[in-house]
Structure 1
Amino acid sequence: MNIIIADDHPLFRSGVRNLLRTTEDLVVAGEASTGDEALELTAKLDPDLILMDIRMPGINGIEATRLIKEKHPRTEVLILTMFRDDQSVFTAMRAGAKGYVLKDADEIELLQSIRIVGSGGAVFGSDIAGRMIHYFSASQSKEPSVHPALSELTRREMDILEHIAEGYTNAQISGKLAISAKTVANNVSTLLNKLQVMDRHEARRLLLQVREGAELPDM
């Protein structure tokens, strides 16, 4: 299995590289220190799997994952990070990652995760799996109704709209979703057009009305 290690910390990459060298089936095909380098190496090497950090210079790991899955769907991505918050986990999943493991996982767990994701499966660290179960169990009883005005939004646009409804600025949304400020601004413009509203305040009002079950005018 050919693997690219994408992480901006040379010492961490060295540790993972040395671990993979102890195996007979896992080969380090290349290393990247930024999201942009991960994209370039993927196009050049066509790896089976990328071990992807989230926070890196330039394009972050989640945005790099989304772009890689769009252009190279055969390549699987396993997120390997220190971020354990729900937003990072679910944003990575939406981007196309098949696994999410914390950097403090032991060597056996990491190797097992690499092999599972590389063979087309999905895997999440024990701590992350527990958080996912709790999240979905809690959300089942409060699933919002879907209004035609919202049904055309992409997952990312819906994520951004929900953050707008909570009062976050574009800069704050950029940090929380680990995407560029330009990407946030572009998606805000698109979702406003799809919802046929004038500004983010009207978009927020529309979403809150849907959550409260209020009647909305035809759009």
Structure 2
Amino acid sequence: MINIMLVDDHTVLRDGIRSILEIEEDLLLVGEADSGDGLLKQLDTIAPDVIVLDINLPNKNGIELISIIKARYPACKILILTMFDHDEYFKSALREGADGYLLKDASSMEVIDAIRKIYQGNSIIHPKMASKLISYHRIHNDFATQNNELTNREKEVLNQLVRGKSNKEIAAQLSISDKTVKIHVNKIYKKLNVNSRSQAIIYAVQNKLVPYLN
């Protein structure tokens, strides 16, 4: 069972997501909050596996909350669900450790699928935001190129991570086992000095470590 907390100041949206979660046997809504302070007051007693978090909140915004949550509860997964497609919000969320970033035009099944995938350790990025990452990679030249001694295979795996692929999807794409993918991902984290897929993605794009994007 995946325990979920929903944080959004729009009651209608919370009602909608709650109704979706209620019909999924492996998902359980264990808490709701309509503000940053409301979220933090409940975390110690609720201990959710996944937090579905808006950015625009009273008291503290979602970006601030990501940093606080990850510092206190590093195992907790965070899915940003927001109307904001601004580059800076997106990149800031990833830098702080968000595990996924969806826009509110995502379908209900996309939200459900994202919750399951980030719980399993994958990173989910809305297609529109993934396109922004690729565009950012193409037009910005103010970061020095660094290879951090990544092997060619590790670069291929990293390229697939940037595209939002799961370990299973990467394994199928590269004709290797899931276990081998996991080993490569762990080595990539160590070499890039990051702790999550989202951090690896933003680092890779900013430092132009994924030359095969097109």
Q: Which band: TM-score by shorter chain? A: 0.5 to 0.7
Residues 10-29 of structure 1: pairs in structure 2 closer than 5 A:
10-29=11-30
For structure 1, the residue ranges without an aligned partner over 5 or more in a row are 146-219
Give the AA of the match of 1:142: D
Return structure 1 stretches of 4+ with deviation > 4 angstroms: none
**Map of 1:133 onto structure 2:** 134
The answer as to whether partners of 1:54 and 1:61 remain within 8 angstroms in 2 is: yes
Cα deviation code 1:31-60 (max 9, x no counterpart)? 010011112222211110000000110011
Aligned residues with identical type, % of pairs: 38
Structure 2 vs 1, CA of residues 138 and 12 (structure 1 numbering), >3 Å: closer, same or farther? same
For structure 2, the residue ranges without an aligned partner over 5 or more in a row are 146-214
The answer as to whether partners of 1:53 and 1:80 remain within 8 angstroms in 2 is: yes
How many Å separate the matches in 2 of 1:49 and 1:67?
15
**Map of 2:4 onto structure 1:** 3
Q: For residue 36 of structure 1, give the secondary structure of its aligned residue in structure 2.
A: helix
Cα deviation code 1:8-38 (max 9, x no counterpart)? 0111100000011111111100001001111
Q: For residue 30 of structure 1, give the secondary structure of its aligned residue in structure 2.
A: strand
How many Å separate the matches in 2 of 1:137 and 1:7?
34
**Map of 1:142 onto structure 2:** 142
TM-score (normalizing by structure 2) = 0.65
How many Å separate the matches in 1 of 2:67 and 2:41?
14
How many Å separate the matches in 2 of 1:65 and 1:130?
23
Q: For residue 66 of structure 1, give the secondary structure of its aligned residue in structure 2.
A: helix
Q: For residue 112 of structure 1, give the secondary structure of its aligned residue in structure 2.
A: helix
**Map of 1:72 onto structure 2:** 73
Structural RMSD (CA): 1.3
How many Å separate the matches in 2 of 1:40 and 1:124?
28
Q: For residue 88 of structure 1, give the secondary structure of its aligned residue in structure 2.
A: helix
The answer as to whether partners of 1:52 and 1:79 remain within 8 angstroms in 2 is: yes
